[in-house]
Amino acid sequence: MTHGGTVIASEFSKKTGVKVLAWDQYHTLDDVAKDSLAVDGIGLVDDHFLESRSDDDLLVVAPVHSQLDVPVTMTHHQAVRLLLEDEITVPIIEVTGVKGKTSTVAILKEIYRYYNPLILSSLGVEAVEGEKTTLLLKDISITPASMIIAWKLALEAEFNPGMCIFETSLGGTGLAEVGVLTNLAEDYPIAGNSKKASQAKEQIFQSRMIACHLDSFHSNYSNKDYINRTNTFSLDGEANLTISPVKYGIMETSFTLEVKNLKNVSGELINTTLSVRTFAPGPHQLENVLSAACAALSLGTPENEISSGLEEFKGIKGRTSILESENLRIVQEINPGINLTAIKKSVAMMDHYGDMALVLGGQYGITCEEIDENSLAAFLDELSNDTPLILTDELGKSLSNKINRVKIYIKDLDDAMDLASELKVANVLLIYRSHFASVEKR
């Protein structure tokens, strides 16, 4: 019943001739959820129920990362496809990956703003009508079942989307015209270490077309029968979408997109170049731009709409955002999925922009992907003492006992930022592992 299982069970219970049973495998259901299931005629079974069943007509639906001793008939992703495939008739883009999912969705939102898209991301469910954006629900998970919630919210609001852009965890449902795999920056273990994230995210290849990070494709999926439906993107490889030399800027970066033999959903082969200006102060943000542009080109979107949408993208408040005063620039990287790879890229990004102080910290239990603290401590020890290091909150406290270099620990984030702002450096880089809502007061 975790990861949206109650939503999926409820939807199946509305189907004629279907009897639904719910197994609370991890014992996480509260009384309210149990009562809701009962209202839908869904009975709860215990941990031993499946041991004594051999029904040919018993279908087992479970999250892709579940550990079960019985065969799983369909994953939650596949169940959502079955439940929504006759409901949603507009084009869908699904975005999965380890890093950059939310940013890629935000960029696509700007490209398709005038298509009236329904947006699902870790920031919430949004109905976009040109310049008007209505938040239908805040702080939603990106489990596949949330696609059902998003669609129902749109119907309740009498919003008729022209397309849907959905961020999904651990793969795609197969509903998408274009599925996006942003990257496999860290192929973390799932299902009690019995699987890797790359195995779950392979579900994105059920999409009609796929826009995939080049290295991720070659390292995990190139031996599959996906090549004819896949377009690749890369900052420096031989991909369908690459870039010419880049002129980085803290507020605006300019470059040329180079498109080579890119296939779109209409069967056309695209070879072109496209001049672009957008918000991408570092390579990892630029990679997010490439993933969104590759998806848009794969869908057959006009080039002028792509370039104008990219130009309108100014970053996400609470992810990579810039605050500037007369003598100080604060670069904020606040993200529930920050890991070692992202931290290294953020620090490297600041090489372009002068001296800095680094404020690093955050909270535990934000996502299923926790951070490798020993490797992070080793990386921080390699930084020059010319870069002041201020650690904060739960993550910072733990790191302070593992780092040998000069550092300061301050429990409160606000106090840590106040100190960093007094150090007479040109930049303060804040890297904080959290949902933005929890630090929005700053």
Residue 76 CB neighbours (<10 A)? 29
Q: With contact defined as beta carbons under 8 Å apart, do 363 and 336 qualify? A: no
Determine the pLDDT at residue 55.
63
pLDDT at residue 363 greater than cutoff 80: yes
Distance, CA of 238 to CA of 8 (rounded, Å): 41
pLDDT at residue 56 greater than cutoff 70: no
> Which phi-psi region, left, alpha or beta, contains residue 415 (left: φ > 0; alpha: ψ -120 to 50)?
alpha
How far, in Å, are 201, 294, 310, 329 from residue 179 at the CA level? Answer: 11, 10, 19, 36
pLDDT at residue 102 greater than cutoff 80: yes
Mean pLDDT of 384-396: 95
More confident residue, 212 or 323: 212
Six token digits for residue 244: 């010419």
Determine the pLDDT at residue 185.
80
Residue 303 maps to which CATH number? 3.40.1190.10
Determine the pLDDT at residue 26.
80
pLDDT at residue 437 greater than cutoff 70: no
pLDDT band at residue 365 using 50, 70 and 90 as cut-offs: low
Residues 278, 307 share a domain: yes
Determine the pLDDT at residue 53.
65
Residues 276, 133 share a domain: yes
Partnered with residue 71 across adjacent β-strands are: none
- Domain annotation covers residue 87: no
Q: With contact defined as beta carbons under 8 Å apart, do 213 and 232 qualify? A: yes
Total tally of structural domains belonging to the chain:
3
What is the pTM for the complete model shown?
Answer: 0.84
Q: pLDDT, tens digit, for every residue of 232-277?
A: 999 998 999 999 989 999 889 999 999 999 999 999 999 999 999 9
Residues 68, 195 share a domain: no
Six token digits for residue 336: 């529930």
Domain-terminating residue out of 47, 75, 103: 75
Domain-terminating residue out of 25, 48, 75: 75
Q: Which domain holds residue 242?
A: 92-312
- Domain annotation covers residue 390: yes
**Cα distance between the two ends of the chain:** 36
Q: Which of 164-168, 193-197, 218-222, 295-299 has the lowest mean pLDDT?
A: 193-197
- Domain annotation covers residue 84: no
Residue 424 CB neighbours (<10 A)? 9
- Domain annotation covers residue 420: yes
Q: With contact defined as beta carbons under 8 Å apart, do 274 and 307 qualify? A: yes
Residues 51, 137 share a domain: no
pLDDT band at residue 317 using 50, 70 and 90 as cut-offs: confident
Determine the pLDDT at residue 442.
39
- Domain annotation covers residue 113: yes
Q: With contact defined as beta carbons under 8 Å apart, do 145 and 5 qualify? A: yes
Residues 380, 243 share a domain: no
Q: With contact defined as beta carbons under 8 Å apart, do 20 and 42 qualify? A: yes
Determine the pLDDT at residue 47.
73
Determine the pLDDT at residue 435.
58
R_g of the chain, CA atoms, integer Å: 23
Determine the pLDDT at residue 84.
97
Residues 198, 164 share a domain: yes
Domain-terminating residue out of 312, 333, 356: 312
